[in-house]
Amino acid sequence: MSFLLQSMAWPLVLLVAWFLGERLHEAARIPRVSSYVAVGLLASLINLPGLTDAVPGLPFLANVALSLILFELGYRIHLRWFRHNPWVLVLGLVESVVTFSAVYLVSGFFSLSTDTRLIVAALSVSASPAGILRVANELRSAGQVTERVLHLCAINCLVAVLALKLVVGYWYLSTSGDLVMAAFGSVHVLVTSVAVGGLLGMAMPALLRAQRIQERDVTLVFALAVVLLTTMAYGFKLSPLLAALTFGIVARERRVHLTNAQRGFGTAGDLLTLFLFVYIAALLDWSDVGGGVLLGLALIAVRTASKVLCNVAAARLSGSTERKGLLTGLALTPMSAFAILLLEQSRLYGFEPAQQVLTALAFMMLVQELFGPLVTQRALNAAAETHVTQE
């Protein structure tokens, strides 16, 4: 009976999450991903057997799901835009530094170690590409605010990975004194992950031309390439998220065209996204949530304020308005899926403080997961860049 319950857990939870997501989206226009998170949190609360530990390979599958989303995000990044408007790039970098510094300083008022504060600050820089991109696709959003949000999200993710890897290297150096291991845990991972993603992005156009693959089959080819990239990253202990983002950026620059119908990788992409948000939510331990309420509220306030203020302050310089800067900063609210998988990867690679950080940030992650996509949806609606019709 126990084995039967464990076998049924995932199909049952995913079916309930899909049903609830569709109903709430139709009835109240609630983002589907928020409903997926709610079901995952509920399943975690009742401790449904076999949800996160009985089925092998779940972390790998979650990384494949997020890597597909990061590839899509990378494909939507236009590097020439940074050359025409370098203030957007400057804004992304400055905002990342300000967010890191502000979160690090505020976390000092709580009983956290220096290592934990550094990790929390690095994670707080990131925005959730899964939450933001799926909401934007759901709304068919397009316009200045949407493009800025996507580009700033990519910059935030890159800086967050860089910062976290440097913190990991610092931790190895401080605990073992091994400079080689410290460099291997940071610089090597960063450089190699970018190189692998870039090389695959350069090779794909030649493969597509050589095989004369029809446009409807391009989605399958890129999905298989992302799975290959994620597998390689796991095997060599690289960052599959950074490699996938780089892959998408380079593929875009190499003029590989994807149609709107292929955005999101179709039904397979929808299923993996459903799994990703339920899985991420189920990782949170409710026994940790109550202990970090004050810390979570303080960090949410500081992180949101830093992103909003930076975008408002630089709005005119970067060719926008203060109102659009405000909406852009608010739309960057989600952060949990990307941050939690970064922590999970670090834990699997032997970074011991990762579990402590997830415990400390449980309340913050819960709030950001559940309500972050809703804030993004409302911000894009307020920007009048959505193109959805009443069904």
pLDDT in tens, 34-72: 999 999 999 888 876 566 665 678 888 999 999 999 999
pLDDT over 70, % of the chain: 88
Q: Which pLDDT score, from 0 to 100, does residue 179 have?
A: 64
Say whether pLDDT at 95 is over 50: yes
Residue showing tokens 């095997």? 235
Q: Which pLDDT score, from 0 to 100, does residue 103 have?
A: 96
Residue showing tokens 């955005």? 263
> What's the domain count of the chain?
1
Banded model confidence at residue 262, pLDDT cuts 50, 70, 90 = low
Which CATH number covers residue 146? 1.20.1530.20
Q: Cα(154)–Cα(69) distance, rounded to whole angstroms?
A: 11
Closest CA to 113 of 162, 170, 159: 170
Q: Which pLDDT score, from 0 to 100, does residue 261 have?
A: 47
Closest CA to 362 of 305, 286, 311: 286
Closest CA to 71 of 167, 162, 204, 168: 204
Q: Which of 73-82, 122-131, 140-149 has the lowest mean pLDDT?
A: 73-82
Q: Which pLDDT score, from 0 to 100, does residue 356 have?
A: 85
More confidently predicted of 186 and 356:
356
* 27 domain-assigned: no
DSSP 270: H
Q: Which pLDDT score, from 0 to 100, does residue 4 have?
A: 57
* 288 domain-assigned: yes
* 250 domain-assigned: yes
Closest CA to 381 of 333, 332, 327, 329: 327
Closest CA to 185 of 350, 352, 357, 354: 350
Q: Cα(240)–Cα(227) distance, rounded to whole angstroms?
A: 10
Alpha-helix residue ranges (DSSP H) falling in the chain: 2-28, 32-45, 58-75, 79-84, 86-107, 114-125, 129-139, 144-176, 179-183, 189-211, 218-235, 240-253, 266-282, 286-289, 293-313, 322-331, 336-348, 353-360, 362-382
Give the domain extent around 66: 58-382
What φ, ψ does residue 208 adopt, rounded to 5°?
Answer: -65, -40
Q: Which of 6-20, 123-137, 324-338 has the lowest mean pLDDT?
A: 6-20
* 167 domain-assigned: yes
* 322 domain-assigned: yes
Range from 158-167, 250-259, 281-290 that averages highest in pLDDT: 158-167
* 6 domain-assigned: no
Closest CA to 78 of 161, 146, 163: 146
* 37 domain-assigned: no
Closest CA to 242 of 183, 155, 358: 155
In which region does residue 350 sit, left (phi positive, over 0), alpha (psi from -120 to 50) or beta (all else)? left
* 199 domain-assigned: yes
Closest CA to 379 of 309, 333, 331: 331
Q: Cα(144)–Cα(249) distance, rounded to whole angstroms?
A: 19
Q: Cα(334)–Cα(25) distance, rounded to whole angstroms?
A: 18
Residues 6 or more apart from 83 whose CB is under 8 A from it? Answer: none
